[in-house]
Structure 1
Amino acid sequence: MSIVFINPGSGPVHGATVEQATQNTAMFVLDLGARHLPVANAERRHEADYGDGRFAFEITMADGRSIEIQMPGLPVEQVRYLGKDDQNIWDFPRLYVDGSSWVWNFALGSCEPEDEDD
């Protein structure tokens, strides 16, 4: 018998709160800024919630792009995967960025503008 994992961390997020998701989104915005991806605005979009412990936010980038983030509502240390030695990627829930699932550090990268040469 084989076990196959597809997108670990993409399932429901039990015990999540909108308050924690809001705090996580604020940290995500700071992390984007640290990558020289400035954010003009982040706004809660309750009507777009997935309903599985992730909460919707619309992030408007300084360059005018709009990005939907589905942020898990767990404490930030349980969501903010940065690839550190003491972090196990399997333990972290995924964020959804415009419908695609990513762990935190890759979600940040997915917010970069598309290369105009592609």
Structure 2
Amino acid sequence: MDVNQVTHKVLNCAFEVHTALGPGLLESAYKECLFYELTLRGIYVEKEKPMPLVFKEVKLDCGYRIDLFVENQLVVELKAVDAIHDVHIAQVLTYMRLSNSKVGLLLNFDVTSLKNGIKRLAL
């Protein structure tokens, strides 16, 4: 499956979760539900995937964790915030670089319509 197909499937699942739950919950609730929905559809997904930082040949475990890493190629970062800020985008871009991913999704579930909470990023 190419990254565009994976992205499409993740977005379909995210829309289903958001339609069922609506805004106003904690990020962790949306993450668990999206993880469940993706695995239910047979999509390989890792939750809270540890992402070490390599600096000058030293592997540092700094506590970085990707919310969802889908099909070993798509970084999915979930938020439940009033607004997406530059720091959120920088976080996804960093996770993409650390995981050698070309595409990432930043999904904010604290919106009335999820289409207003989607940010697709590419390197």
- TM-score range relative to shorter protein: 0.3 to 0.5
Q: Which protein is richer in strand relative to its size? A: 2
Q: Larger helix proportion, structure 1 or 2?
A: 2
* TM-score normalized by the length of structure 2: 0.32
TM-score of the superposition, structure 1-length normalised?
Answer: 0.33
